[in-house]
Structure 1
Amino acid sequence: MLIILKISALYDMSICDRTKLTLQTQYFKQCQDAQTGLPAVGTVFPNLNGKIPCDRIVDEPDNYIERTFFSTAYSLKHRLSDNWTVHNRFRYATSRIYIEKAQ
């Protein structure tokens, strides 16, 4: 199971002929089965007990991983003259990873 949700928005506006403001935000969420993977011996390298199929699930079927990412930013640019420009930027970002595993 794989569920992905991604929302992005960008808004550009000119406050006056010399000032420009850009606002940006992004939200990303992904939920998927938590598979820890298979060992190298038996899948890539030879094993005395035989080959392990790549589609083998070794974890509990209800295990999952949820990743969430959010960021917001702005950029303010003001042209003082033909030679001078003031540019201010700020960005905030946060992310979270939640893993649900049977014990």
Structure 2
Amino acid sequence: MGWQEAHRYYAALREVERELDRTADGAVPWRAEYAEIFGDRRGLLLALRRRWDLMVQAQVEPDGAPRLRELAQEHPGLARVVCLDGAAPARCPLGGVA
């Protein structure tokens, strides 16, 4: 992935996350232009899960439930989507229920 592709990828992820925060319904938004970046809806969902997993790995210690909840407050739409998609309990700050 070149710089321009990486820029488009991360810009699209940020756009999707803003929409998830705005709607708060857990439904992953889809636009035709996302197909070129993510392939399909499942590819977008996998990219969102990867984003969440990387944030958790970088910012949450193994016993860091309080920090996990803070991270979910900072990224509520993303946390909701990850939990609705069946994230492992250790990765879901909402207790598996969104």
TM-score, normalised to structure 2, is 0.19
Greater percentage in strand: 1
Please say which structure displays the higher CA radius of gyration: 1
Greater percentage in helix: 2
TM-score, normalised to structure 1, is 0.19
